[in-house]
């Protein structure tokens, strides 16, 4: 079946967005659309230009007989800033205050539109980083982890507080929670992650970073390497942070329960854009 150029462009764009960081040979598109490679190359040049102009991403050309193109998500600052600002406004709503100064974030983490946008923005920062797995801890960080992983085209590994019979043999470690200073346990199925993986840790909220440090310790049990740490919200008022290098979209600077006031600002994410 012969495709018109407009049809090819639409279908090609959709395919690339559904297969981020996957090498797609030009011969695949040529056979898919029954078109010459020269025509496919021209189409890809149009897609690449549009992606970059709209702040969606970019295409990387891999030369050679086994080459092709790869799509990498790249969210522009112009697109990321309004979203982070909107996220700050949502989190600053005083109705989110719970007893003890905790914040209710379940509705945000359950909103597909918000989570997908946050996932794209986080993935954009790690688009050029070699990552084999996205790791998170059950349960609230799971939606965000899957959103990030879908843009990086890698699997998700979920660390749990207790073992489940359906996961088979597990690795268990003890760690000290950064805020409560309590000894806690986390477990991970031995079948869930290959040895020597490069892992991006993603979580919804970080205080002192004890849970993140626990996951980093878990990586050692799999001879794996930390590729990065990303969180949706970080608590800025923590005096002793256990984690030094991480990415955050929102910083929680103050919670006044008496005045019912939540003060937030953009996280350190935009530090990746330097003049």
Tens digits of per-residue pLDDT, 245-259? 999 999 999 988 888
The pLDDT value given to residue 176: 85
Of 200, 55, 224, 203, nearest to 126 by C-alpha is 200
Same domain, yes or no: 38 and 158: no
- Of the ranges 50-64, 107-121, 145-159, which one carries the lowest mean pLDDT score? 50-64
pLDDT of 237 higher than 60: yes
The pLDDT value given to residue 182: 83
pLDDT of 209 higher than 50: yes
- Given a contact cutoff of 8 angstroms between Cβ atoms, the answer to whether 196 and 223 are in contact is yes
Looking up residue 235, the CATH number of its domain turns out to be 3.40.50.2020
Domain boundary, last residue among 73, 92, 125: 73
Same domain, yes or no: 236 and 126: yes
The band of 104, judged by pLDDT with boundaries at 50, 70 and 90, is very high
Mean pLDDT, rounded, for 165-181? 83
* Residue 189 structure tokens: 């199925």
- Cross-strand pairs, 135: 157, 201
Domain boundary, last residue among 36, 53, 73: 73
Same domain, yes or no: 36 and 117: no
Same domain, yes or no: 26 and 145: no
- Cross-strand pairs, 192: none
Number of domains making up the chain: 2
Residue 155, classed as helix, strand or coil, is coil
Mean pLDDT, rounded, for 155-171? 90
- Of the ranges 14-23, 94-103, 154-163, which one carries the lowest mean pLDDT score? 94-103
More confident: 29 or 180: 29
Same domain, yes or no: 83 and 65: no
The band of 174, judged by pLDDT with boundaries at 50, 70 and 90, is very high
- Given a contact cutoff of 8 angstroms between Cβ atoms, the answer to whether 61 and 67 are in contact is yes
The pLDDT value given to residue 186: 95
Domain boundary, last residue among 51, 73, 95: 73
Same domain, yes or no: 95 and 178: yes
Same domain, yes or no: 85 and 53: no
- Given a contact cutoff of 8 angstroms between Cβ atoms, the answer to whether 178 and 243 are in contact is no
Same domain, yes or no: 68 and 81: no
Same domain, yes or no: 98 and 118: yes
Same domain, yes or no: 212 and 94: yes
Give the C-alpha separation, 240 to 244, whole Å. Answer: 10
Looking up residue 45, the CATH number of its domain turns out to be 1.10.10.10
The band of 275, judged by pLDDT with boundaries at 50, 70 and 90, is very low
Same domain, yes or no: 144 and 243: yes
The pLDDT value given to residue 101: 80
Range(s) of the domain holding residue 53: 5-73
Same domain, yes or no: 136 and 231: yes
Q: What is the dihedral of CA 188, 191, 194, 200, to 10 degrees?
A: -40
The pLDDT value given to residue 24: 96
pTM of the model: 0.93
- Given a contact cutoff of 8 angstroms between Cβ atoms, the answer to whether 136 and 108 are in contact is no
């Amino acid at each position: 079946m012969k495709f018109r150029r407009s049809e090819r462009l639409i279908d090609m764009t959709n395919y690339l967005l559904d297969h981020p960081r996957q090498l797609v040979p030009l011969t695949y598109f040529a056979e898919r659309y029954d078109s010459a490679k020269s025509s496919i190359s021209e189409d890809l040049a149009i897609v690449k230009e549009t992606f970059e102009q709209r702040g969606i991403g970019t295409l990387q050309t891999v030369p050679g007989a086994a080459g092709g193109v790869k799509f990498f998500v790249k969210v522009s600052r112009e697109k990321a800033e309004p979203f982070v600002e909107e996220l700050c406004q949502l989190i600053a709503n005083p109705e989110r205050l719970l007893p003890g100064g905790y914040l209710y974030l379940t509705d945000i983490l359950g909103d597909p539109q918000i989570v997908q946008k946050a996932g794209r923005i986080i993935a954009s920062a790690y688009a050029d980083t070699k990552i084999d797995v996205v790791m998170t801890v059950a349960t609230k960080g799971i939606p965000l982890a899957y959103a990030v992983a879908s843009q990086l085209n890698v699997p998700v590994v979920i660390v749990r507080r207790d073992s489940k019979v359906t996961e088979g043999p597990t690795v268990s470690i003890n760690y000290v929670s950064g805020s409560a200073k309590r000894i806690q346990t986390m477990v991970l199925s031995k079948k869930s992650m290959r040895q020597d993986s490069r892992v991006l840790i993603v979580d919804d909220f970080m205080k002192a970073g004890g849970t993140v440090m626990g996951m980093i310790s878990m990586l050692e049990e799999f001879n794996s390497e930390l590729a990065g740490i990303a969180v949706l919200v970080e608590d800025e008022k923590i005096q002793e942070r256990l984690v030094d290098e991480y990415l955050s979209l929102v910083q929680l600077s103050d919670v006044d329960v008496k005045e019912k006031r939540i003060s937030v600002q953009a996280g350190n994410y935009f530090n990746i854009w330097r003049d």
